[in-house]
Amino acid sequence: MTRDDYLTLLRQALTTPHGIALDFDDWVKAERARRRIYSLRDALRRAGDDSFDILSLVMRPHGKLLIVRRDKLLHHDREDGLSAESRPISRDELPDRFGYANFSFNVSKPRRRRKRQRNSI
C-alpha cells in the first residue's frame, strides 16, 4: 500500500459513523500497517493537519485492524464498588481544629550525622 492508500483509509474512517475494519493475512502485517498509519498521522500533524487525531487504531486477533473514531465511542461510568450513606452532621460533631491537631503522633528526632574527619597530610 502507498501513502495515498493509507490516507484514503484515514479519510474513509473519518466519513463513516464509527470507523473501519481492515483485514490482513496475519497479525504481523496488521502491525506494520498500524505503525505506518501512526507515522503518517504524526507527519500530517507536524504539517498542521490534526483532522485525524480523533482516530485510534485497535489491533484485534487474526490480522484485524480497527480504525475507530474516538468521538463515537460509548463511555461508561466505572463503578468503584464503594457505597456510603450520608447524613448531616451536628454542631457537636465539628472538630475543634482542622488538620493534624486532632491526632496524636509520636515523632522521634532524626539522628544527627557525624561529620567525617579528613586525613590531612
Q: What is the pLDDT of residue 91?
A: 79
Residue 27 CA neighbour count, 13 Å, CB half: 5
pLDDT in tens, the chain (121 residues): 999 999 999 999 999 988 999 999 989 999 999 999 999 999 999 999 999 999 999 999 888 999 999 887 776 667 777 777 878 888 787 777 665 555 555 666 667 777 666 666 6
**Domain residue ranges of the chain, discontinuous segments joined by +:** 3-71
What is the pairing mode between strands 64-69 and 19-23? antiparallel
For 64, residues 6+ apart whose C-beta sits below 8 A from its C-beta are 21, 22, 23, 24, 30
Q: Which residues face 69 on adjacent strands?
A: 55
Task: Name the amino acid, one letter, at 22.
Answer: L
Distance between CA atoms of 78 and 80, rounded to whole angstroms? 6
pTM of the predicted model as reported, rounded to 2 decimal places? 0.59
